[in-house]
Structure 1
């Protein structure tokens, strides 16, 4: 049960990071620094890593 909750939280983390990335791209279009896009992309990649790790842990049934 705990792994399902962890995977669900990770999924919502990916969604939140995607929203931040979209906001960064819109701000870049308005003249903001491109570093916001880089930071947003790094957040998305790290959130995706955690989500994939949680899903794989859920599928294999690991207890750690």
Structure 2
């Protein structure tokens, strides 16, 4: 049961990261710093890695 909850939390983290990356790109297009999309992409990458790790752990 704990594995399923961990997977759910990781999946929600990926969704939130996608929304934050989308907002960062919009802000960049409006003239904000180019570091926002870079940081958003790093957050998305780390949340996807966490989700993959949790999925692999649940399959083992």
What is the RMSD of the two structures over their aligned residues, measured on CA atoms? 0.4
Structure number with greater Rg is 1
| Residue of structure 2 in register with 1:48 after alignment | 48
Separation of aligned partners in 2, 1:21 and 1:59: 29
Return the TM-score normalized by structure 2: 0.98
Deviation beyond 3 Å, 4+ runs, structure 1: none
1:24 offset after TM fit, Å? 0.3
SS of equivalent residue, structure 1 residue 3: helix
Unaligned 5+ segments in structure 2 are none
Unaligned 5+ segments in structure 1 are none
Return the TM-score normalized by structure 1: 0.92
